[in-house]
Amino acid sequence: MTISYKWLHEYLPETVDPERLSQILTSIGLEVESMEKREDIPGGLEGLIVGEVLQCAPHPNADKLKITTVNVGSNETLSIVCGASNVMVGQKVIVAPIGATIYPVSGEPLKMKKAKIRGEESNGMICAEDEIGLGTNHDGIMVLDSKASSGTPAKTYFQISSDWIYEIGLTPNRMDAMSHLGVARDVVAYLNYHDKKNLSVITPLGKSFSAEKKPAPVVVEIIHAACKRYAGVTIEGITVNESPDWLKKRLQSIGQKPINNVVDITNFILHETGQPLHAFDVSAISGNKIIVRSANQGEHLITLDGKKRGLHQEDLLISNEKESMCIAGVFGGEESGVKNSTTSLFLESAWFDPRTIRKTSFRHQLRTDAAARFEKGVDISNTVNVLKRAAALIVEIAGGKVKGDVIDVYPQPQTKNELGLRFHFLKRLSGKNYHPDAVKKILSSLGFELIKETLDEIRIAVPFSKPDVHHPADLVEEIMRIDGLDNVEIPSHITITPSSDDENTASELKQKAAAFLTGNGFLEILTNSITNNQWYTEEQLKNSVKLLNNLSADHNILRPSMIESGLECIAFNHHRKNTDLLFFEFGKTYTSKEKGGYNEEHHLTLLASGNLPANWRIKNRDADFYYLKGICINLLTRLGISKGISTEYGNGKLSCSFRNKPLFTLYNISAELLKKFDIRQPVTAADFYWDEVLTAASDTSKRFEEIVRFPVVERDLSVVINKKITYQQVENVIDELRIRKLLSVSLFDVFEHERFGADNKSMSLHFEFQDKEKTLTDTETDQMMQQLMNKLQETLLAEIRK
C-alpha cells in the first residue's frame, strides 16, 4: 500500500512531521517498509535562485564567452562567465551559485565550484532549462518573466513541490487501511489518545453534490445475492480530456499513471476512500438498464485489455438488456468503457461479496486494485457517499450535469455487529490496565459507536469499515494498536512449565543432519513448493498435483520433486557469477493417488556444483559425485545408520538402502535438465527419502562402550579380481565371515594394468583388527588375514598379489 504524505494531510486536522508519521504508522500496526522523498524534478531546484543580468561584456580571451554581473538578491552580485549567445542585460535568469547542485536531463549531477574560465573568475552558472531538469531545450539560457524578483528561490518561482512516499506492509485483515482516509483515521485516533486531543478526520464525503429530484434515466436490477448494494448516477454533457495538474500529481505520487479525467477521478477516489468505482458509457447501456447477474454458460466478454475471456457461471457480471458489460468488481469491458468520445456516463458504486470477487479474480488471473479491495470487504455504508463525492468531482473537472436522482438499490440494509468488551478480559489479554475513558476514546476515534456501559463492560457497535472485527479479542487488538504495539508491557517474571516430549526424535535428527551439513560447508535453502510444470518430465507430471487457481502461469503445480526447485537456486547464483555451491533443503513433494487423494513425502535434497574451498594444504577439487557420496554416507553414520546399509549403482545412479528400504539416490543432473535452467557446469544431486531415514534411525539401537585400551593392528591386502566385481560385493563377502575382531575394512586403491589381464583389476584393501581384552599377536592377526584371503579366493576367484 502506497501513501502520499501530502495527500494524507488533506484529511489530517494538523500537520505531523514526516519522521514522526512514519513512527506512528509502524507503532499502530501499519508497518512502514520504506519512506522516500519524491520531487517533481530531481533535486527539486534546491539552492538555485532567480537573478538579474546587470552587465554583459565580451570575454577578453574568448570570442564566444561573455562576462556577466548578476544580481541574486539583497544587492548581492556575482561575476559569472557565460557561453550562451542569448544572454543580455536586464534579463531575469536562473542562477546556480557556488555550492548548488544541478541535475541535467542527461548526465550526472554537478556541484558548482569556483572556477577560472580562460583566466576570468566565474562564481556559478546561468542555466539553460535542460541543465536543471525543466526541459530539453539547450538553445540558450532560460529567460524568465521580467516581473520575477531577484533572490527568489527557483523552487518557489516554479512552484516545485516535494512529497514523502510511504510503502506500508498491510496485513490481509486491514481492509480499513487500504486508503488515505482509512490511514488518516488511525493517525487521528493515535493523536487523540497520546497527545490528549479531540481531533476529527477532515472528510471530503457528503459535500458539494446536487442532483435533480427526478427519476434517473438508467434503471438497476439486482438478481444475484452476491451484490447487496448497488448505487449509480448518470452524468450528461461531460468532456473526456486530460486531468488537471493537481489530480495527475496525486496519482503519480503513488505510482499511478494518469489516463483521462474520468478514469483518473475513479482511481483517485479508490485510493482516497478505498471504494472502487466504475464508469460506463451510457450509449453502451442497451435499454437503459443495468442488470447485476451471474454469467451464462459459454458467455464471453472482451475486457479493457482487449482479450476475449470465457466467463464462468459463478462470475458476477454487470450487463445491459442484451449483453454483459463488465466483470463485477474485477475488470471492465472494452465496449462499455469510457472513451474520448464519451459525452454521457453512468457511474457505479457497489458492494460485492468478497468470496465471489476473489474466486473470479483468481480464475481469470486479474489481480486488479478494485478486486484487491472488494475481496477484503468494503464499507457498505459509504457506497452512496463515495458516489456523490466522485460525481461532484466529475462535474467540476469534466463538466456536465447530473441527470436525475441517485439510484440506490439496497434490498436488505445491513445492521452493525454488536460486541461486548469486559475490562478484566482486556487486562488479561493485553497485560495492561486501561482506564475505561481511554478505551472509549480509542474506539470512538476509530468509528466504533458506544451503545451501553456498565462498571465492568462496554457494549459497542462495529463500523462497517471494520469487517475483520468479530470478537472481543479483535477489540483488544484495536486498542493495543492505537496505544502502540511497541508499548506492550513485558513482565519482569514469566512462569512457564517446561514440556517433556519423548516424541521429538524426528526434530532432533533433523537438527543433527542440518548441523552436520552446515559444518561441511553446505548452505540451507528454502524454495517454493508451488512451482512451474515446465521443469518436469511427462512421467513426473502424470501424478502431479495441479493448482486450480494458480497465481501465475509460472506457479501452477505442487512440486513432484525437490531437485528442480533447488536447481532454480543454482541457476540464480550461477547467473550472478557465484558458481561454487553446496546446498541442502528439507521439504515435501506432492503426488496424486490413482483412486483419489494426495501423497505428501518428506525429503532432504543435497546439491553440489563447482569447486570445494581450497587452502594451503588442499588444492581446488570438484564437488563431484564421489565427494557427495562421501557426504551422504557420513551423514547416515552421523544419524546412527552404519550397519545394514547397501548400495547399488546402475543407470548413472547410486541407490542406498537399509533392509531393502531406499534411503537416498545419488546422481549427476542430466545435461538436458541443466539446459532448461541455463546451467553451464555439472551439478550433482542427492535425494534422501527422509521418512525412511527416520525409520532406519529409530530401528538402529545405540550402544555405548568403554574405549578399548589395547592397540589396533593394521594390515593391507591387494587382490586381482574381475572388473565387474564392485567394492560393495567385496565388502559383503568379508561381512559373511563375521570376524569379531575385524574393526574395519576400507578400499584405498584401484589399479588396472595389462599384466592383470584385460578383464581384471587390482583392489588394495586396508584392514584394522582389535581385541577388547588383550593385545593381538602376529599369529592371531595372520590367521584372520588367511581366513579373509581364502574367502575372497573361493567366492570371488580373487588372486592374491604378492
Residue 38: per-residue pLDDT: 85
| Residue reference for cell 545435461 | 671
Task: Indicate the class that CATH gives domain 219-409.
Answer: alpha beta
The Cα–Cα gap between 559 and 531 comes to 6
Residue 234: per-residue pLDDT: 95
Residue 633: per-residue pLDDT: 92
Residue 614: per-residue pLDDT: 76
> Which residues contact residue 585 at a Cβ distance below 8 angstroms, ignoring those fewer than 6 apart?
524, 525, 526, 527, 562, 566, 604, 605
User: From 3.30.2320.50, 3.40.50.10540, 3.30.56.10, 2.60.40.10, which CATH number describes the 2-40+162-194 domain?
Assistant: 3.30.56.10
Residue 652: per-residue pLDDT: 87
User: Which residues of the chain register pLDDT less than 70?
Assistant: 498-504, 551, 700-702
Q: Where do the domains of the chain lie?
A: 2-40+162-194, 43-157, 219-409, 418-487, 505-699, 713-800
Give CATH for domain 713-800.
Answer: 3.30.70.380
627-634: long-range contacts (C-beta < 8 A, 24 or more apart)? 627/684, 628/666, 628/684, 628/686, 629/654, 629/666, 631/517, 631/520, 631/606, 631/686, 632/606, 632/656, 632/664, 632/666, 632/686, 632/688, 634/516
**How many CB atoms within 10 Å of residue 260?**
17
Q: Which of 161, 158, 162, 157 is nearest to 73 (CA)?
A: 157
Residue 501: per-residue pLDDT: 56
The Cα–Cα gap between 492 and 431 comes to 12
> How far from 778 is each of 149, 710, 762, CA to CA, in Å?
110, 14, 26
Q: Which of 261, 322, 255 is nearest to 293 (CA)?
A: 322
Give CATH for domain 505-699.
Answer: 3.30.930.10
- Examine domains 2-40+162-194 and 418-487 and report if their fold is the same: yes
pTM: 0.63
Burial degree of 545 (CB within 10 A; 0-12, 13-18, 19+): middle
**In the CATH hierarchy, which fold is given to the domain comprising 418-487?**
Phenylalanyl-tRNA Synthetase; Chain B, domain 1 (3.30.56)
Residue 659: per-residue pLDDT: 83
The Cα–Cα gap between 706 and 619 comes to 38
The Cα–Cα gap between 775 and 348 comes to 97
Residue 504: per-residue pLDDT: 56
Distinct helix (H) and strand (E) counts, the chain: 20, 40
The Cα–Cα gap between 228 and 359 comes to 18
The region, left, alpha or beta by phi > 0 then psi within -120 to 50, assigned to residue 686 is beta
Task: Indicate the class that CATH gives domain 43-157.
Answer: mainly beta
Residue 137: per-residue pLDDT: 85
**Burial profile 284-306: b = 16 or more Cβ within 10 angstroms, e = fewer:** bbeeeebbbbbbeeebebebeee
Q: Record the cell numbers describing residue 340, joined without a space.
A: 474520448
DSSP lists the bridge partners of residue 344 as: 236
The Cα–Cα gap between 256 and 180 comes to 15
Residue 44: per-residue pLDDT: 83
Burial degree of 552 (CB within 10 A; 0-12, 13-18, 19+): exposed
